[in-house]
Amino acid sequence: MWQEISERRAANMRRFVEDLRATGQVREGLATDEAADTVWLTNSPEVFVMLTTERGWTPDAYERWLVDTWTRLLLTAR
């Protein structure tokens, strides 16, 4: 079951990146699979728990970090 959930999440992250790419927002040279894996990893429940529970971040701090991370790693320069 865990594998099925993980694969479904990965497929959804790929669709998200494909939607971003269709709008021209994904930086040039970044492969869809790499971008989707970056989203999949950084948006995982495990990362959220590690940062909010183990490191004491607030959910708002995690959200800001995630936006900053995705902006820097995935998106074209504005």
Q: What is the pLDDT of residue 78?
A: 64
Q: What is the pLDDT of residue 6?
A: 86
| Rounded mean pLDDT, 2-24 | 93
Mean pLDDT score of the chain: 94
**Count of Cβ atoms closer than 10 Å to residue 67 Cβ:** 10
* Residue type (1 letter), 63: E
Distance CA 73, CA 67 (A): 10
* Residue type (1 letter), 66: L
| pTM to 2 decimal places | 0.85
| Rounded mean pLDDT, 56-68 | 98
Share of the chain above pLDDT 90, in %: 90
